[in-house]
Amino acid sequence: MSTFTLLSTNSTLMKTITYVLLICLTPLWSWSQSPFLNLVVEETSIPEPQYTELSAELGGEAHTIRVYANIPENWEIQVMYGFSIAPLTVSAPEGFYHNNIGGPTSAEIVEAAYVINPLLQYDSWITIGWDNSIDNGLEQLPLDAPFLSAWEAGGDLVSNDFLGGSIFVITPPELFPPNTGDVNGNVLVGQFTSDGPINGCLNFQMRRLNSDGTVFDPAGSAASETVEFNNVCFDFSPPPIGGNCLGDLTGDNYVGTADLLILTSQVGCQSGCVADFTGDDKTTGSDVLVFLSAYGANCN
């Protein structure tokens, strides 16, 4: 499992009386230790036969990543948002995998349905802590969430208009929902599957808590303490495709069925083709013949 850590590029300590995101105008300058928020990317191992099936659907080597926000103890992530002056964007040039019984947030991921459709485990979605629908405390604004619908329909995940869009946590913090950090300080904020690079920039609002999970509210203050982090980015690039011998498209050092499925999906490709064994930048009958001559080879 490979791990990548990227640091936030902007943080401004704020005070607000709202639970759901409001962009505050007055910074709180006095703070003994500034909070932080970093993004950590981890690649998830995809077992067979799901790996072969996903790769065939995507037309290339499937990769699933999970993105975590690393935050301090006694803080919670309230909101993940995007609007005109602080866009939220997650892009995959080769396209995202969206399962037909999944959804754009973890609130639509029914774990029991993994038995019916195992590929649901690798659906692309965003979240603030939860990885399935059980006791899920997420809501979204606006309620129809056009930026999420456009993503499910095949585009990139983008919220950059004047009104913007967000997902937020409605579970009271004293119940210790998973929008607070785990033992490593990590909060899950997204899962993305594609057959190419995946990158994005996200925006968050965090709120300070007491050690018992209640909202921190110092004497003389009518407001909780919150902080916003804008333009916190991550970038995942899959390792180069291919193994130690011609025809191995999956990198498992064996030329077999998984490679054949990728080759089949590539036949007819005219430029930048993954399954190009002849060096003409295309996938044609000539490449199929080369592949068949190598089929069954063990590259170890």
Where residue 92 falls among pLDDT bands split at 50, 70, 90? Answer: very high
Where residue 242 falls among pLDDT bands split at 50, 70, 90? Answer: low
Largest distance between two CA atoms of the chain = 78
Beta bridge partners of residue 255, listed in sequence order: none
Neighbours of 18 (CB within 10 A): 13
Mean pLDDT, residues 82-99 taken together:
97
SS3 271: coil
Residue 75's closest CA among 186, 163, 165, 167? Answer: 186
In the prediction, which pLDDT does 243 show? 58
User: What is the C-alpha to C-alpha distance for residues 50 and 73, in angstroms, rounded to an integer?
Assistant: 36
Whether residue 194 is predicted with pLDDT greater than 50 in this model: the reply is yes
Mean pLDDT, residues 2-31 taken together:
36
Q: Which of 14-18, 76-80, 89-93, 188-192 has the lowest mean pLDDT?
A: 14-18
Question: Model pTM?
Answer: 0.74
In the prediction, which pLDDT does 69 show? 98
Residues in CB range of 26: below 8 A, 6 or more apart = 14, 15
In the prediction, which pLDDT does 244 show? 64
Neighbours of 295 (CB within 10 A): 13
Whether residue 9 is predicted with pLDDT greater than 60 in this model: the reply is no
In the prediction, which pLDDT does 142 show? 95
User: What is the C-alpha to C-alpha distance for residues 275 and 288, in angstroms, rounded to an integer?
Assistant: 9
How many DSSP H helices and E strands does the chain contain?
A: 4, 13
Q: Which of 19-28, 108-117, 144-153 has the lowest mean pLDDT?
A: 19-28
The pLDDT > 90 percentage for the chain reads: 61
Q: Which of 17-31, 155-169, 221-235 has the lowest mean pLDDT?
A: 17-31
Mean pLDDT, residues 120-136 taken together:
98
In the prediction, which pLDDT does 169 show? 98
Neighbours of 221 (CB within 10 A): 12
Whether residue 144 is predicted with pLDDT greater than 70 in this model: the reply is yes
Mean pLDDT, residues 220-245 taken together:
82
In the prediction, which pLDDT does 74 show? 94
What's the token pair of residue 201?
């920039």
SS3 232: strand
Where residue 241 falls among pLDDT bands split at 50, 70, 90? Answer: low
Beta bridge partners of residue 125, listed in sequence order: 191
Whether residue 24 is predicted with pLDDT greater than 50 in this model: the reply is no
Mean pLDDT, residues 130-146 taken together:
96
In the prediction, which pLDDT does 15 show? 32
Residue 228's closest CA among 59, 81, 129, 61? Answer: 81
In the prediction, which pLDDT does 238 show? 84
Whether residue 189 is predicted with pLDDT greater than 50 in this model: the reply is yes
Could you tell me the domains of the chain?
Answer: 3-236 (no CATH), 241-300 (1.10.1330.10)
Q: Which of 42-56, 111-125, 255-269 has the lowest mean pLDDT?
A: 255-269
Residue 48's closest CA among 259, 258, 298, 262? Answer: 258
In the prediction, which pLDDT does 222 show? 67
Residue 148's identity, in one-letter code, is: L
In the prediction, which pLDDT does 204 show? 98
